[in-house]
Structure 1
């Protein structure tokens, strides 16, 4: 069951590069930077993920990143999800993410699974939303 929404951010793709294919599947590495909040703490989210195009045209991606709060909080994350490419070039992902943090404001992240929506518009702008999976 999905719990409350615990975070959201807005950002921009900062770089992309094509990686060698594996098993014939095209792969792209994408990095982004976003600003928002998680559990009410304002934060910057830096992340990189690798997505491959599957035979049916859908995407599968895995990534990792770093959250940095305004008062020195830090958390790392790893996650994965599936995506679809829209006709206009936008991409929409859905998946799960797992965190690790020693910062008191974010220690609760250590014991949750997060479920996310991550949208990328044709200009490379991103919007992420995060819910606690109970």
Structure 2
């Protein structure tokens, strides 16, 4: 069952590169800031996407969430992305979190979440996640 929203951030794609041309693999990195577990946080992530039949992309990635107070959590994720009519991408998928935090991020340890991650043609990003209970 879907639980409460745990993150809401906005940011930018910070880099892209082709890892392989056969099969095609594209690496994308991003940085966002926003609220995670009700606390201002910064997120950095990198994922690798692979084209699939029908125009979708399959992606897997890793990331880190950090607060100014020193709390950290990491995530591993996977999802499916589709290009929109304006040149952006719309991703939907799942995240698995780990943390040693005993503060606000403590509930993220071994938690699973579903996410929405959207980009526009200019490289702006918007991400949201909901805990999967």
TM-score normalised by L of structure 2: 0.95
Q: Secondary structure at the match of 1:10?
A: strand
Q: How many Å separate the matches in 1 of 2:79 and 2:73? A: 20
Q: Which residue of 2 aligns with 1:83?
A: 81
TM-score w.r.t. length of structure 1: 0.94
Runs of 4 or more above 6 Å deviation = none
Structure 1, residues 49-101: CA drift from partner, whole Å, max 9, x if none?
A: 00011121101000001111110111111000001011321100000001111
State whether residues 27 and 49 of structure 2, in contact with CA within 8 Å, keep that contact through their aligned partners in structure 1: yes
2:105 alignment counterpart: 106
Offset at residue 126 of structure 1 (A): 0.3
Of stretches 29-38 and 81-90 in structure 1, the one that deviates more from structure 2 is 81-90
- 1:118 corresponds to: 117
What is the CA–CA distance in structure 2 between the aligned matches of 1:129 and 1:48, rounded to whole Å? 16
Establish whether residue 60 from structure 1 lines up as the match of residue 41 from structure 2: no
For residue 111 of structure 1, report the CA deviation from its aligned partner.
3.3
In the other structure, the counterpart of 1:13 is 13
Q: Which runs of 5+ in 2 are unaligned?
A: none
Structure 1, unpaired ranges of 5+: none
Does the residue aligned with 2:18 lie in a helix, a strand or coil? strand
- Tell me the CA shift for residue 25 of structure 1: 3.8
1:86-131 CA-partner distances (Å, limit 9, x unpaired):
1321100000001111112212111321110000011000000010
